[in-house]
Structure formats: C-alpha cells, structure tokens
A and B are shown apart, each in its own frame.
Chain A
Amino acid sequence: MDYRKIIDLLFHKGQVIGFKDMEVFIQRDKSLNLKVFKKEIDNFSISDEGGLSFRGIYKGKMGYSYTEKIDMDSVDLLINEAIENSKVIDSEDEEYIFEGSKEYKTINNFNEDLEKIEVEDKIDFLKNLEKYALELDSRVDAVNYCSYGQEETYSLLVNTKGLDLENKSNIAYSYISVVVKENEDIKTSYKYIVSNDFSEFDYKKLSKEAVNEALSLLEAKSIKSNEYPVVIRNSTFANILKAFSPIFNGENVEKGLSLLKDKINKKIADMKITIVDDPFYKDGIATSFDGEGVATKYKKIIENGVLKTYLHNLKSAKKAKVMSTGNAYKGSYKGTVSIAPTNMYIENGDKSLDEILKTMDKGLMIIDVQGLHSGLNTVSGDFSLAAKAYLIEKGKIKRPINGITISGNFFEVLKNIEEIGNDLSFAMPSMGYVGSPSIKVKRLSIAGE
C-alpha cells in the first residue's frame, strides 16, 4: 500500500471540506512471539499489521479518527468521523498541529542484526532456557512461562504544516517464570530481559536467577503486622515509580488530578533524589520526536529533591505557559495524544544493594509487588500492595516472607528515602521506560499476621 498516496488524498479532501491543519500518523508493526512448554512450541505467533490515524482542526476543534483498513475507501470515513468528533468538543483548550522543531538528535534504536537471526535460534534459546531451569534443581516443578517476543515498529508522522518524520525501531524480550515445589509448598519467580541485541540473551543467567529466587522463597511465612524499615529492590521500585508517573503529567496537574500542583521549585523529595527523563539514555527505547513531532529532550524532573518540571505536550505546555518538554505520547494510531515519560529513572546513588542492607538492623527487603493496577491511587498517592520479601536482620537475609502487604503514601515515601543504590534497573516498557536503583525507605506499614 502506498501510504503517500492516501495521505495526499486525505489532505486534499480534508482541505476542500474545511479542515485548517491536518496530520496523519501511521504505525506498522511486525512481531514474533514464541512460547515453549515442556520442550514443545506452545505458542508461535507472527504478525504484520498497522493502522492510520488522522486528526485535523475543523472549525477550531481537533477531531480524531483512525482505521486499520488502510485503503482509498477509508478516506471518507476518516474525514467524516473526525468532523463528527470535533463537533462535540467543548473544551476551550487550543490544540495544534506542530510545524516542527529546529533540530532532531539522532537516536538509533534499530538493530539490523536482530532481524537476521533465524527463528530456529530463538526457539533453541527458549528450549535451552526451559531445559536449563528444569535441570538446575530437582525442586523445579515446571517452567510455566518461557517466552520470547520481538517487535519491529515503523512510524510516520506527516502534517500539512510541513512536518515529515519517520522512525524505525526494534526490541526483543524474553520472560521466564518458574514453579518450584517442596512437599506441598509451591513458589514461583520470574525474570525478564529487554534488549534489541540478541547476544545479551543469556539463557543460563536468566534461568538461574529465576530458579534461585523461587527456591529462596520456599518455606516463606508471614510476619507480624507492624511498621518496618524497608529496602525496595531496583526493578520493583521502578514498577512502583512507573505506576505513579501520572503525578508528573502536566495535564493531570492542570486538571487538579495531581498533588504536585504548585510545587515547582519546591522540595518534594529527599535531597538524595534526582529523577531524569532522558530520551538519549544508552539502553533506552525512546525516539527523537514525540507523538506530536516535537524533538524529545533531556530534563531533570526532580533535582536533589526539588521538583523542576512536569512532563508536557503542546497543549498542557501552552496552558502552563511553558515550552513542551517533548513528552506527547501516542501509544498507537488508536489513541489521542496524551503524556508519558521517555526513559525516566532515578539516578544511581553510590551504595551497592549489599551495602544498603548492612545499614539495616531489622527490616524487610521487598523483591516483588502485585496489584499495581488496582492497589494504588495516583491521585492520593496511597498504595497497598501484596508483596514478597526477605526478612533482614543485622544486615543479612534471614528468611523469606510472603502473605504480606506493604502500604504507604508515595509522596511520603519520596520524602523518607534514606539510601539509594547504584544498581539502576528498568521495568518492562509500556507507556514509557521507567527505571530505579534499589531504595531504602525509613519505614512502611506491613500487614501480615
């Protein structure tokens, strides 16, 4: 399909009917997903698909529409739906089509080698991953997830103000979850890797980490409900930070949905905390332009505990009378434009995880939390999450703990951070890539027995 022909026709017809400015965003994904279970290929999925989204300013309002059927017949549907959608908008917020930034830095997130690796090699990797995990210890009962996924994304952003940008990137990931069993005691643990360099996919390392962790959780017991000092391990804190990232969203601030309103240049976190949003981070996944075509850029969100900026797209920036921070987010051609971080992370401190544990006389190390989609409130900052942990006594791991929840308020946690590790690690990417080192918090409520 010749995208350019459709775009030309859309812009032509749109102009005739009365659109002022118009924009087309096209995304095309090719993906491969594999799962192995008991030496067999349990899932083999391939795809090549995409869609086109159209938006335009009609009588001063922005109307959106999209289609996955990209053909000449869809042009009228796209235009009519966008007009209908623009008509119902009564928000006075001005929305624009952007003419382009002065400069776009190059970010290369496309690794050609990844596409050249045979599917057989990827299947072998998974079979080895499963086999190795099962052989590591007689208590490994099953490998209940053993998957590999790979995605190649092409996006094109073209508008009537002269913007014409395209991007191609690819990413691969592998995820393993193991079930270990001793008598009637069953425990699971998972590990993942995200990279577009297949040589980094080390099945021995991945399966060993998952198995060792699952085994370490056997005979876990609950603990007496109380407040304890806690260390939250890097990727777990990254997941919590990611879940709370809407607090930095300029649109939420403006709409009274973030408690960070009016907090710019105020201290909102312990001074050891610096959070950056860095599209150029070496192993990141960001692109050189955002969902509106604005060049992405490096910024500090929190610097030594002081809030420096919110994340903005064009619309929220204009309302706040600042420049867009290049954080417009268009997750797919189906969505309207929102806001998300690029590669956002808490900067490393100088202690290793072991050194941090040594600062703890009695406390917990949280290694995993569940319920992030339901057990926290980004508006109030409150959270209450099921957790897996180790009991730490005199700086050493004493025993595993399960059947507990950790509860607190994220805004209070930011102020009560005592130590920051040097082990930055990232959560699985989706609506931004978020990372954190291990973090020690003065105390959190633990509910157990």
Chain B
Amino acid sequence: MLKQSIIEDVLYSALSTGGDFAEVFVEDKFNTALNMVGGKIENGISGRDYGVGIRIFYGTNSIYAYTNDSSKENLIKVAKKAAMVVGAIKKDITINLMKDSINNIHFIQQYPLDIQKSKKVELMKKAYYSAKNYDNIISQVRVRYMDEDQRVLIANSEGLFVQDRRVRTRTAINAVASRKGEMQSGHCAPGAHMGFEFYEKINIEDYAKEAARIAKTMVNASYCPSGKMPVVIDNGFGGVIFHEACGHGLEATSVAKGTSVFAGKIGQKIASDVVTAIDDGTILNAWGSQNIDDEGTKMRKNVLIENGILKGYMIDQLNGIKMGMKSTGSGRRQSYKYAPTSRMTNTYIQNGKSTFKEIIQGTEYGLYAKKMGGGSVNPATGDFNFAVMEGYMIRNGKICEPVRGATLIGSGSETLNKIDMVGNNLAYGQGMCGSSSGSIPVNVGQPVIRVEAMTVGGRKEE
C-alpha cells in the first residue's frame, strides 16, 4: 500500500522536532452503495477512499494530520508541518519497522468486489417484494445495500508494521405503512463482518417481513402513555440501552479526562448484581469485530462489569498514557480522516437466569419495548435518551395493545442499578455509532431485561 522505506522517512520527519511517538495509518477502501425505492434501483455509487493519517504524541498531547496525496514529498511535507506544532528538541530515536503478519480469524468467502452487481440487485428485489407483499397497508419500501472492502496499514515508531483487511456488508430495509393520511415506518438492517456469503447465512426476506410487520403494527397503534413505569426491553438491538446508558461512559475518551460519571470507580458497584457486561471485538465475523484495532493492537474480549462491579474501561493508546494503563484494543476510527480514540466493538449484557415468560408475567403494568431505535448520551451527566420503534403495554403480566411514539430517558448510573431481571436469550443487533473518531460499525446486544422504573416519554395520560 505504501513502501516501508517511505513510511520510515515519514515517521522520522514526524519525530524531527522532539515528539515521543509517531504513527502512520494508510487506508484503501472500496465502497458500493445501491438505493432502491418502490422496487427500482434509483441510483448506485461505488468508489475508492484512499488516504494517509499521520499522528504524533508528545507527552500526553497529540497532533493529527491527513491527506490523500500519498507521494513521498507530500507525506514528508505534511509530517513536518505536523511536527512543527511540537516544537521541541529532536530526540535520538531509531525506528526499526518489523513487518508482522496478523492472525486472521474473520475469514471471508465471497469478496463483494467479485460479486456481480446484478446479484446484489436481485437480493434487494427479494427484500423489496417480501416487505411490499406483506400486507396491502405497506405503501412504500426502501432498500439500501452497502458493502465495503477496507485495507489498512498501520506502522509506528515503536516498530509496528501490520496490515489488515476488513470486509463488511449490510442491507437496510425500511417499510412504510399508510392509513388514513397517517404514516409509520419499520426498519431492519442486518449486517456482518462478512462477504456476500452473509446472505446465505441469513434469510433477507425474514428481515424484510419484520420491517413491514413493525410498520403495520405501529400505524394501527395508539400513542404511548407517559410517566415513570417498569420497562421490559427485548433482546438484540435492545442492547442499545447499555451502549448509551453505560458504554460511552466507559470509553477512556471521557474517563481519562475525568468527565465521565464512571471515572475512578474500578472495583466499585455501579450496577445491580444481575448485570455482567462485555465488549468483545473477537466474535467471529460480527459487525463490530476486527482482527486488530485502528492502532494495530489485537482486539480482545474486555469484561466491563461483572455482577454489578466495574472491572475495566475501553482504552486506546493515547488515553492509556494519560491513565497509566494499557490499551485494551479499543482504538477505532471511521477512516484516515479521524485520529483514533477508544470506542466500543460488540458490546453486550451477558445472559442471566430469567426467562422471557417469567419477566413478562412478573410485570403487572409497564411498557414492553420490543424493538429499539437509536439514542444518545451525555457522558458527563450520564443522561441518555432513546427511541422505542415498537412498543406494547403490559397489563397484569400480559402483553397488550401496541403503542407508538415512546422515548426512554434516564441517567446511566441510576438505570444500571434498576435492572432487576436479566433473561437468557442473548442476541445482537447492528448499528453505526457516531463519536469523535467518526461513525463506526458496532454490535449492541443483550438478553431481554427489565428496568424496574424508567421515564417513558409518550403523548398520552393514563
């Protein structure tokens, strides 16, 4: 991707003014995106992202520069421009790049670039018709297909020189149901760190029907009541609650600054006993997995919370220096345009002992959030919010009428202590997580859980 000798020269230039550490990140990525509306391909675009990011550490500070002119002269010019910011005295550093091959565990069978576009379109049509023909009430269906094939080369002044290749594919189906001038939509978007073989492992039609089912259910639903009540959050994408309520606060990005509510709490009880939470970037071919993170550190399984006790954070190199701790393989970035920072990979609450049936039956009144939408959090206060895409009222231990338009809000530390039941049906959902190092693919996951009281933002008094 870039000659070893050029990289060495760039690293030396980056350290020419006294920096402690320098890193070069080279990215070459092919993307395809196809959009289908009303069963017809509206447009398709494909192309190549290519660029180089150069990073320098001095003390606990860092400088980042990027460009997509990868000629030797330009890279050295950019490295020197970045180095000027350090402005100290050059240290005596020798760089010996040691080419290291990574241990690839996420095997790809069918590279997207080898698959005819017509096959991708065929898949989209299958999804379209499954959703459209689900019911007469479905008035419009949008299908978006994407795949990417990313090669990265990461080298640094400590001698690291590694390459990795990540292939991801995803199909998003959005169904709209219309009734008497009202519209509601349902959404499903399965994805994986896989090639086109992903679509042999899943049945895209099931997901399409699911999107249509949600739209149909919601257009017939009345508004959700508001107020504080017990909330049962189903498995899979329901894990977004942990992602927002706690995950972001355990990223070293805010912990190192002391601006997270969870800073300085290792070994302390921060959640109820039934909660064990994990971030695992090594799950085979999962959406948020990689062999190595975007700083070249091997990804691993990190226990964040064990039986309610805070065990660890997600840490990248720079924040590791600030915290006096080692990287946990959590340094990630959207592309060469972003300096990496600590991020989540596949984050989930581990299985507990309750069954779905027990949890519903044990709830006299409350909200059953079957499908969750996205959310966000303020890491300094822990205040989070997220949307319920498909909800039902629970009355006398039974799932009753569907309700729409609900948002769940609360504070992370409070909610973690109020999780009183954890089911045994762990599943994952795929999402894109946006933060300071860009938008990256992450899995969220959990078994069904119950929070004994949460503020539900609906529109109706009950």
A→B interface (CB under 8 Å): 1, 37, 40-51, 53, 62-70, 74, 77, 81, 84-85, 87-93, 142, 144, 177, 179, 186-188, 222, 225-226, 255-257, 259, 334-336, 370-371, 373-375, 377, 379-380, 382-386, 402-408, 445-449
Contacts and interface: CB of A to CB of B under 8 A. Distances in A.
What are the 3 closest A-B residue pairs judged by CB atoms, nearest first? A405-B457, A447-B226, A374-B374
A164 to B, nearest CB: 23
Contacts of B66: 45, 47, 49
A41 B376 contact: no
Contacts of A44: 61-64, 82, 85
A384 B78 contact: no
Contacts of A334: 31, 45, 47, 49
Given A45-B64, A49-B69, A447-B407, 19 more contacts: A40-B60, A44-B63, A45-B65, A49-B68, A85-B45, A85-B46, A89-B42, A93-B42, A179-B259, A222-B455, A259-B181, A371-B374, A371-B375, A371-B387, A373-B374, A375-B385, A384-B457, A386-B457, A405-B457
A179 B258 CA distance: 11
Given A88-B44, A89-B44, A93-B42, A377 B68 contact: no
B50 A405 contact: no
A370 B50 contact: no
A74 B254 CA distance: 41
A448 B34 CA distance: 42
B152 interface: no
B10 to A, nearest CB: 15
A221 B118 CA distance: 57
A449 B227 contact: yes
B407 A385 contact: yes
B64 A408 contact: no
A74 B48 CA distance: 9
Contact of B47 (A66, A225, A371, A386): A66
Contacts of B44: 63-64, 85, 88-89
Interface in B399-417: 404-407, 409-410
30 contacts: A43-B62, A45-B66, A45-B339, A62-B43, A64-B44, A66-B47, A67-B47, A68-B48, A68-B49, A69-B70, A81-B46, A85-B117, A89-B40, A89-B44, A92-B40, A142-B258, A144-B254, A255-B38, A371-B407, A374-B374, A374-B387, A379-B183, A386-B407, A386-B457, A402-B383, A405-B407, A405-B409, A407-B223, A447-B407, A447-B457
A53 B227 CA distance: 50
Contacts of B47: 51, 53, 65-68, 81, 334
B318 to A, nearest CB: 10
Given A44-B63, A81-B47, A255 B257 contact: no
Query: Most chain-A Cβ atoms within 10 A of its Cβ — which of B47, B67, B254, B374?
Result: B47
A37 B319 CA distance: 13
Interface in B441-462: 455-461
B325 interface: no
A103 to B, nearest CB: 29
A255 B42 CA distance: 11
B67 A48 contact: yes
A244 B262 CA distance: 35
Interface in B134-190: 139-140, 142, 176, 178, 181-185
B385 A405 contact: yes
B383 A405 contact: no
B378 interface: yes
A257 B215 CA distance: 13
Given A45-B65, A67-B50, A380-B182, A448 B117 contact: no
Contact of B69 (A1, A257, A407, A408): A1
A384 B373 CA distance: 12
Contact of B259 (A41, A144, A226, A447): A144
A256 B42 contact: no
Interface in B324-375: 337, 339, 373-375
Contact of A445 (B61, B337, B380, B460): B460
A193 to B, nearest CB: 20
A50 B68 contact: yes
Nearest to A119: B85
Interface in B408-441: 409-410
A447 B406 CA distance: 10
B381 interface: yes
A334 to B, nearest CB: 6
Nearest to B65: A46
Contacts of B117: 84-85, 87-88
A257 B38 CA distance: 11
Given A85-B44, A384-B406, A49 B51 contact: yes
Nearest to B410: A403
Contacts of B246: none
A336 B78 contact: no
A445 B459 CA distance: 5
B40 A91 contact: yes
Given A374-B374, A375-B407, A407-B459, A49 B337 contact: yes
Nearest to B227: A225
Given A142-B259, A447-B226, A379 B184 contact: yes
B455 A68 contact: no
B394 interface: no
Nearest to B29: A68
Query: Most chain-A Cβ atoms within 10 A of its Cβ — which of B40, B60, B78, B455?
Result: B455
A256 B178 contact: yes
Nearest to B42: A91
Contact of B227 (A65, A84, A386, A447): A447
A124 to B, nearest CB: 14
A162 to B, nearest CB: 24
A380 B461 contact: no
A166 B323 CA distance: 48
B140 A255 contact: yes
Interface in B190-239: 223, 226-228
A244 to B, nearest CB: 14
Interface string B27-43: 00001001101101111
Contacts of A1: 69
B219 to A, nearest CB: 8
A62 B386 CA distance: 39
Contacts of B140: 255-257
B303 interface: no
Contacts of A67: 47-48, 50
B261 interface: yes
Given A48-B69, A53-B47, A186 B226 contact: no
A445 B458 contact: yes
Contacts of B339: 43, 45
Contacts of B226: 225, 405, 407, 445-448
B90 interface: no
A447 B458 contact: yes
Contact of B82 (A46, A66, A225): A46
Contacts of A68: 47-51, 68
Nearest to B336: A49
B61 A42 contact: yes
